[in-house]
Structure 1
Amino acid sequence: MTLEELQERMLVEIPAMPRRLTDGARYVLDNPDDVVIFSMRDLAGRAGVSPATLVRLSRHLGFANWSDIRMIHAAHLRTMPAAYARKASAVLAREGESELLAEAFKSHLANLEHTASVNSAESFHEAAERLARANRVYISAFMSCRGPGHTFAYLCRMLRDNVFLLGSEATSLVTELSTLRSDDVVLSINFQPYSREINHIADTVKRSGAGLICLSDSRGTPLTPHADTVLLFSPESPSFFPSITAANALVESLVVALLAHLGDTASERIARIEHELYASGTYNHLNG
């Protein structure tokens, strides 16, 4: 079995797994290098599960023991030209405000480096192509992801028509998605803990046949089995709340890919909008 086949099996099995097995499976999916580098005990600690959970995960997937999964990852790693960029090392001990601020910026940089390393140019191209062809684009971004969702909506509307941010109107999500069709695309931004809307999005996308682009912290979410493209970002933070720095960078990078895909048509649209913004007084002309 190849690593790709193993990952596909895990994605299929995750929705029906017990919670602890799901935690282990998601970590294995998102950190394939760690499976080779660390012992089962150390890997379990990083995943927040017990070593016995990884053994149960192996057997749930049809293997005799954990070493079978590790061998598949090792065989894949030997075929790669270079290992994936490592995540940031453990955060420094907090000793004061200046140290905490430095730690926060180190975490932001590490998240950006990780996000850049795990998403291929081909994935951006596939997502941009799907967005360009869509009849309508719906953006699903709730709670902490609302900021990146607003950013994508604002920038995407500079490039094309029929872009809608779900939850903006005085209607229910069910009503907003009731006319979703196979020629539409939903762009979802989410990370753990996932908002309750994610299950309705998954059901509606599956039923309608609409496209789905998933920006997430994991390949093992309720949405990713239905996604055309998955782009990953890391929300790690030394603070009490997750960081959306990498999510914002991912959104802006996806808009760049969409602009490149649309070409002169989008450039001309941006020029017209910019002209109107100045003509209306929304932007100020500064002279001298």
Structure 2
Amino acid sequence: MDRDALAQRIIDSFPDLPAQLAIAARYIVDNPDDVALLSMREQARRAGVRPWTMSRLAKRLGYDGYEEIRALHATAIRQGELGFAGKAGRQAARQKESGETALARDIVAAGATQIDRLAAPDSLAALADAAALLATARRIHCLGLRSSHAVAAQFAYIMSFLGDRTVLLGTDGFGGYDAVRVARAEDALLAVSVAPYSRLTLDIAHWAAGENVPVVAITDSPVSPLAAIARHTILVSTESPSFFHSMAPAFVAAETLAALVAGRGGAEALAAISRAEQQLAAFGVHHLAPTPRTGP
């Protein structure tokens, strides 16, 4: 039996579990990584039950002891067992058991908590340090693939209001990444990638670092392969009750970086933003509400 099958068994048996066992069962389903990484006693404390309740639940589910349940979860972590399909199965089971609004609430609450972590002192310092580097770069190359592409594109779009020194890689029509060939030590590469990491993103970041181009990373772990390459790393959480990882914290990090870089630009940045606004107005890009008539 794998971890998904165990979770499904717990959900199926949930209505028949005594109150304390149900509390322990919910903790296992909602915190699969903790089951592998924390002691049984600590899990019981966090769940709000006695340690022997965890053992009783294991026996109720057909195991000799709770260590067998922990071993299943540890194996899942080592093997990366819960890919998108596995997570989708777990989400569907949870959605059926808890209901639509409960799942939606949990997804939104998880995102809010993750974004709030960016306000921690270490995260704020990392954002400020990264912005200082990007503000002095001659040209900023922005790289993100798959779910990370939109984050890199958002940063590049905001920075386009400051002039033409920001390049979004992957849009030049020549395989997408040729523009980075001209990057030099006075430039910078903003690379975005979270698990499962894009191999091409890592390859380009490795190449850039080898050319002494400083890399700023937005990634999900201090031990991610992208963090190992980066001069500065912005850590964002991606865990979600959804089958798909959350990119909301990465968007907030990118938008914050762009704002900090703009703020460092002084009068030159303000003038560039003003010119961009004038051009947008001249092209009629945005829909504007009609001016109310004041006369008869």
TM-score range, shorter chain: 0.5 to 0.7
Q: CA 1:107/1:265 → structure 2, altered by over 3 Å: closer, same or farther?
A: same
Q: Give the counterpart of 1:267 among 267, 270, 281.
A: 270
Q: Which runs of 5+ in 1 are unaligned?
A: 1-33, 54-90
Aligned-partner SS, 1:219: coil
Question: What is the CA distance between 1:42 and its match in structure 2?
Answer: 6.6
- For 1:207-286, list aligned pairs within 5 A: 207-286=210-289
Decide whether aligned partners of structure 1 residues 40 and 272 sit closer, same or farther in structure 2, where only a CA change above 3 A counts.
farther
Q: Please name the residue that 1:140 is paired with.
A: 143
- What is the CA distance between 1:194 and its match in structure 2? 0.2
Shift of 1:49: 3.8
Give the C-alpha shift of residue 39 in structure 1: 4.5
Bigger mean CA deviation after superposition, 262-271 or 109-118: 109-118
Q: Which residue of 2 aligns with 1:7?
A: none
C-alpha distance after superposition, 1:121-180 (max 9, x if no partner): 332222112112111111110000111111111001112322111111222356333222
Matching residue within 104, 126, 130 for 1:127: 130
TM-score (normalised: structure 1): 0.66
Q: Secondary structure at the match of 1:178?
A: helix
Letter in 1 for 2:254: V
Deviation at 1:41, TM superposition (A): 9.3
* CA 1:285–1:134: 2 relative to 1, 3 Å: same
Q: Hey, what's the Cα distance between the residues in 2 that align with 1:161 and 1:204?
A: 23
CA distance in 1, matches of 2:165, 2:42: 48
Which has the higher relative contact order, 1 or 2, with Cα contacts under 8 A spaced 6 or more apart? 1
In structure 2, relative to structure 1, the CA distance for the partners of 1:174 and 1:165 (3 Å cut) is closer
Matched residue, 2:108: 105
- Number of matched pairs: 213
Q: Distance in 1 between matches of 2:188 and 2:139?
A: 6
Report the RMSD for the aligned CA atoms in angstroms.
2.9
Please give the residue correspondences for 1:46-195 in structure 2 after superposition, counting only pairs within 5 Å.
49=74, 94=95, 95-117=98-120, 119-172=122-175, 175-195=178-198
Q: Summarize the Cα distance change of 1:41–1:153 in structure 2 as closer, same or farther, 3 Å threshold.
A: farther
**Equivalent-residue separation in structure 2 for 1:174 and 1:150 (angstroms):** 14
Residue 131 of structure 1 aligns to which amino acid in structure 2? L
Q: TM-score, normalised by structure 2?
A: 0.64
**Separation of aligned partners in 2, 1:136 and 1:159:** 12
Letter in 2 for 1:114: R
Percent identity of paired positions between Structure 1 and Structure 2: 27
Question: Which residue in the other structure is 1:14 paired with?
Answer: none
The answer to whether the Cα contact below 8 Å between 1:198 and 1:222 also exists between their aligned partners in 2 is no
The amino acid that maps onto 1:102 is: R
CA distance in 2: counterparts of 1:239 and 1:120, whole angstroms: 25
Q: What is the SS of the residue equivalent to 1:183?
A: coil
Q: Tell me, yes or no, if the aligned pair for 1:108 and 1:246 is still in contact at 8 Å.
A: yes
